[in-house]
Structure 1
Amino acid sequence: MVRLLSVLLVIPLLASCTTIIEGAAKPGVSLEKPGPAGTVPAGLEKFYGQQLAWQECSSFATTGSSKDAYGSKRDVECTRLQVPLDYAKPDADTITIGVLRWKATGQKIGSLLINPGGPGASGMAAAASMVGEYRKSELGGRFDLIGFDPRGIGASEPAVRCLTGPERDADRLDLDLDTSPAGIAQTEQENKAYAEKCSAGTKFGASMLANMGTRDVVKDMDVLRSALGDAKLSYVGYSYGTRIGTEYAETFPQNVRALILDGAVDPAQDQGQSTVAQARGFQRSFDEFAKWCREKGDCALGDDANASFRQLTLPLIEKPVAVGNRKLSYNDAITATIQALYSEQLWPLLQQGLEELKAGKGTMLLRLADIYLDRDEQGNYSTITDAFNAVHCVDDARVTDKNAMVEVAKQYKAAAPFLDDGNPPGAALDACAFWPVPVTGRTGVPKADGIPPLLVISTTGDPATPYEAGVNLAKQLNSRLLTFEGEQHTVFLQGVQCVDAAGVKYLIDQTLPADGTRCAS
């Protein structure tokens, strides 16, 4: 459920037409035009063969997290790729995609594009944070590392933006847990207002929202492939990035060189099935955390971890905990817990946060929630939450059957009892039900015709994209599954030698690991 405040609308910026201009470089700017390369769709030649102006990255970093990730890095460079707002109208308005590059140090094969998921996460920030591990691997000598912010996200312009920082802070305190008819009506009105504000507050308005989906992101990625001078694509997609990779392979099978899909989203699942499967995944990870916590000692959770957790968090519904001039809400405590369950490396922070909450304090849990929502210390948020909603609302089928919604809510509570807020299952329509543009996403089992075998990596203890989703995706794409036995969300290029060696070998010489390969930390 999207729970958002009703706020004043923002007048949209005036739409304007832009063109690709090539010429002499300004000081500090390096002009390159290695494309077009490979297949170029008719009518898109000027985009596929455009000149790229590379420069230092400080002007691209607009949030605290992006400034930390790449704003002052001297070993990376950035550019803007121009693409059509609407691929059905390539001669009309254009938008730009933010792109970051770390250049290969040896005999280069080509570029390696990465996407960290979300949807809504910054590929530029993710690539910059990977440079240290990347340069130590053999990949550092063979591929330029390329991170891009998908359309409407991060440094890409225009960005989808719905709520201001203060409005987002207020929304975190607005729980929307009331499932009475009056409570449902209020929540739906807030969600309707949010959808309206997203359209009004984003340049190009509904036209931008209509072209925010994965359908359009993969077309942007193909333009980027060509403009970088690569005849075929090499790509690593994490989490939602596996959906991008899958749809790219379906749309441009002839342009696929090597794709790693790590932490798979199962495209054959509908929204309800995916929600319940994810609930089971987080419950399993919570159980593992609780076991670890009790073994460590000084654990706020008792033998019945679900009951202990609810006993700690449910009082926040009526009385949030003051943290300086802010408050820790029930929603924040849940968000913080979900954030920490993404990786066992964050378990000690969750343990500390729950101990603090037991003592009436909320500093660590609020900080974990801020990390998840990408809020900096000055109260500024990135676009990740608004972009997540914008992509989801055009990618996935709208759910308007309230009986079905109640059934999914029941299954969710049964699958993840630690997240049960104590209220009856509700059926409020989310913001997508009021979205001003139609769904454009593909549904069902992907078509593997013409796609070379890919590498799918799935982690047994992944809470967000459960292991079975990776097993299913590998079968659907007639591709190779690599299993990692661990407790985290995604794993490639994160220091697990067995996984990294298999992935690097595949990307460099396109040799897949043996069928049935399993790795452990």
Structure 2
Amino acid sequence: MRMAPTFLVVPLLAAAALSGCTIDRSEPIALPPAPTGLERFYDQRPEWQSCADFGGADDTFAPNAECARIEVPVDYADPGGPTAKIALSRVRASGKKIGSLLLNPGGPGVSGLTMTGVGSGTPLAERFDRIGFDPRGVGASQPVIACLTPREADAERAEPPTDNDPAGIAAAEADNRDYAGRCAERTGTDFLEHVGTREVVQDMDVVRAVLGDPKLSYLGYSYGTRLGAAYAEKFPDRVRALVLDAAVDPASDPVAESLRQAAGFQLAFDGYAAQCTEDPECPLGTDRAAAVARFRALVDPLAERPAATTDTRGLSYGDAITGVQQALYTDDLWQVLTLGLDELRDGRGDTLLQLADMYDGRREDGSYDNTQDAFNAIRCVDDPRITDPAVAGRQDTEFRIAAPFLDDGRGTGAAPLELCAAWPVPNSGNPHRIDPPGLPKTVVVSTTEDPATPYQAGVELAAQLDAALITYRGNRHTVALVAGVQCVDRAVVEYLVNLTEPAPGLTC
């Protein structure tokens, strides 16, 4: 049971220094009243401390970061029931403060505690406390979503692909039921039922209040755009500023989203292949039209025999595909991908295995963060399930057509039902268009050749929010303040600090 990569942790690249942005438009100090029955959660104050006990000993946190946990109800309909703790990180504003800027890298299931480095060297660092957070069930928040042990995760990654014949479909669906059962046993269904976007946006409002902000300023990437849009829908009167980069369209159903993403990854692969095949040493050859066939010739044998690695695990077929997709998230990794494919041509798989480990959250000591388990759990409560075998078969067929570089040749017109069909708790979200009344002007950033959240999704989200759209022409997933693109960064900083709308039709 392997899930195709969907959204990605944001690479925290240093942004270029920006100037200007000196107007203070702080909101009044008075906070909105807490919802009835939730006063004790809204009235708490974080106790900030060292981040060492939050996973900060490896110097991944920004300098001067401090961490805390706050309490929230597991079920907002039962505020007197069990509670969870949300992990927060903070880097204080260095100058005259507007308020807090809440940051989320996406996923779903990715830790956000190290996000406080975003905006370093810009006026955001002067004017905002930059706040990272781990959504409920994720990272340093408590409790955590837990499904597989490290040994089980390694074993799952090593599994060869199954044929889409009746026996293979039955085996894949049995694996899904087994995985779902382990999640239910190790996490608990009472908590699993309440880890979705519906609850996280309510947690975000508690975070806003405990930080002392009358309205929310927020920068979210990838799945973080879904959180931002859902917050805007539920609390439009509590929004000061939203920047949503690499958008998820809230109206897109899971099948349409997966096919749109398949086409996005094919576009990224084609872009990589066009660049690589210009080099006579390209592992895909020099004929761009033959690049997919050459790629399949490299990876298909792994289904029968993993490639050798210095790590005794070897490179499985599934890890090779995951590693390639990891590298396709940004053209910054295309040279690394070439190295990995060169190694594979020589029968070795170290670089692609490292890329797969990066995606799957495997640490050098063999332990894992809980990104993948959290991704599965959150996705399965956020979206409706595909329970019709005919729909699953059509989706598989159309996915292979949309992304031929990912087609292993095992398609039959039938396919196993995906993991969420076996999930032990009901979904709490459904695709729908949003139209938040009274929402102030917001900003959506969308990249023309984004593989994971294709450009059109940003266009559609901007239309639903009546947001300003910034278009970036490039090959990457997420750009604002993480890629050094000053045209984008200046507009985003000016908006967040001064609430100045980007120029209409801004394209960078």
**Could you state the TM-score of these two structures normalised by the residue count of structure 2?**
0.92
Counterparts of 2:228 and 2:362 in 1: how far apart (Å)?
Answer: 28
Give the structure 1 partner of residue 47 of structure 2: 53
Q: CA deviation at 1:355?
A: 0.4
Matched residue of 2:277: which SS? helix
3-state SS in 1 of match to 2:77: coil
Which residue is equivalent to 1:247? 230
Question: Which residue pairs with 1:37 in the alignment?
Answer: 31
Match of 2:249 among 260, 266, 269: 266
Q: State the SS of the aligned residue for 2:308.
A: strand
Q: After superposition, where does 1:369-408 map in structure 2 within 5 Å?
A: 369-408=356-395
Structure 2 residue 77 is matched with structure 1 residue 114: no
Write the distance in 1 (CA, Å) between the matches of 2:210 and 2:396.
46
- Counterpart Cα distance in 2 of 1:145 and 1:76: 9
d(CA) in 2 for partners of 1:415 and 1:455?
30
Equivalent-residue separation in structure 2 for 1:124 and 1:243 (angstroms) = 18
Of stretches 422-431 and 313-322 in structure 1, the one that deviates more from structure 2 is: 422-431
Per the TM alignment, residue 46 of structure 1 is displaced from its structure 2 partner at its CA by 0.8
1:441-464 Cα shifts (integer Å, max 9, x gaps): 142111232222210000011000
SS in 1 for 2:378: helix
Q: CA offsets per residue over residues 397-452 of structure 1, 9 Å max, x none?
A: 00011111111111110111011101024421222112111110142111232222
- Do the aligned partners of residues 3 and 235 (structure 1) sit closer, same or farther apart at CA in structure 2, a change above 3 Å counting? closer
Query: What is the CA-CA distance between 1:37 and the residue it aligns to?
Result: 2.7
Cα distance, 1:315–1:176 mapped onto 2, change above 3 Å:
closer
- Count matched residues: 479
Question: 72, 77, 81: which is aligned to 2:66?
Answer: 77
Matched, 1:125 2:110: no
Task: Quote the Cα distance in structure 2 between the aligned partners of 1:67 and 1:120.
Answer: 20
User: Aligned partners of 1:138 and 1:200: how far apart in 2?
Assistant: 47
User: Are 1:338 and 2:321 an aligned pair?
Assistant: no
Counterpart in the other structure of 1:27:
none
Structure of higher RCO (CA pairs closer than 8 Å, 6+ residues apart): 2
Instruction: Say if 1:67 and 1:88 are closer, same or farther in 2 by CA, change over 3 A.
Output: farther
Give the equivalent residue in structure 1 for 2:415.
427
Provide Cα deviations, 1:205-255, integer angstroms capped at 9, x if missing partner.
Answer: 101100000000000000000000000000001000000000000000110
Task: Within 5 Å, give how 1:118-157 maps onto structure 2.
Answer: 118-128=107-117, 130=118, 134-157=119-142
Partner of 1:89: 78
Question: CA contact under 8 A between 2:161 and 2:303: conserved in structure 1?
Answer: no
Question: Given the superposition, is the C-alpha separation of residues 135 and 126 from structure 1 closer, same or farther in structure 2, using an over 3 Å criterion?
Answer: closer
Q: SS of the counterpart of 2:101?
A: strand
**1-side partners of 2:428 and 2:3: how far apart?**
24
1:317-338 residue CA offsets vs partner (Å, 9 max, x unmatched): 0111121311101111110110
d(CA) in 2 for partners of 1:296, 1:248: 47
CA distance, structure 2, for counterparts of residue 80 and residue 297 of structure 1: 54
Distance in 2 (CA, whole Å) between partners of 1:55 and 1:241 is 26
CA distance in 1, matches of 2:309, 2:209: 50
Structure 2, unaligned runs of 5 or more: 5-27
Equivalent residue in structure 2 for 1:206, among 189, 208, 225:
189
Deviation of 1:518 after TM superposition, in Å, equals 0.4
Alignment partner, residue 220 of structure 1:
203
Gap change, CA 1:2 and 1:349, over 3 Å in 2: closer
Secondary structure of the structure 2 residue equivalent to 1:237: strand
Other structure's SS at 1:152 match:
coil
- Please report the TM-score for the alignment, with normalisation by the length of structure 1: 0.90
Alpha-carbon shift at residue 68 of structure 1 (Å): 4.4
Aligned ranges for residues 158-177 of structure 1 at < 5 Å? 158-177=143-162
| Residue aligning to 1:67 | 58
Cα distance in 2, alignment partners of residues 208 and 37 from structure 1: 30
Q: Which amino acid aligns with 2:383?
A: D
1:291 Cα offset (Å):
1.2
2:443 alignment counterpart: 455
1:295 match: secondary structure: coil
What residue is the counterpart of 2:19 in the other structure? none
Fraction of identical pairs, as percent: 51
CA apart distance, 1:35:
9.6
Report the CA distance shift for 1:436/1:35 in structure 2 as closer, same or farther (over 3 A).
farther
Shift of 1:125: 2.4
Q: Distance between the aligned counterparts of 1:223 and 1:141, measured in 2? A: 24
Seen in structure 2, the aligned counterparts of structure 1 residues 462 and 78 have a Cα distance that, compared at 3 Å, is same
AA aligned opposite 1:321: A
Aligned to 1:506: 495
Q: Which runs of 5+ in 1 are unaligned?
A: 5-33
**3-state DSSP class of the match of 2:437?**
coil
Aligned mates of 2:213, 2:380 — CA distance in 1: 32
Deviation string 1:123-149 (CA, Å, 9 cap, x unpaired) is: 102334x3xxx2300111000110000
| Corresponding residue to 2:179 among 172, 177, 194 | 194
3-state SS of paired residue (2:47): strand
Equivalent in the alignment of 2:307? 321
Secondary structure of the residue aligned to 2:204 is: helix
Alignment RMSD, CA only?
1.6
Residue 273 of structure 2 corresponds to 290
Q: Provide the C-alpha distance between the structure 1 equivalents of 2:411 and 2:436, rounded to a whole number of angstroms.
A: 42
Find the counterpart in structure 2 of residue 16 from structure 1: none
Q: What amino acid is the match of 2:321?
A: I
d(CA) in 1 for partners of 2:344, 2:263? 25
Q: Which amino acid letter does the alignment assign opposite residue 229 of structure 1?
A: G
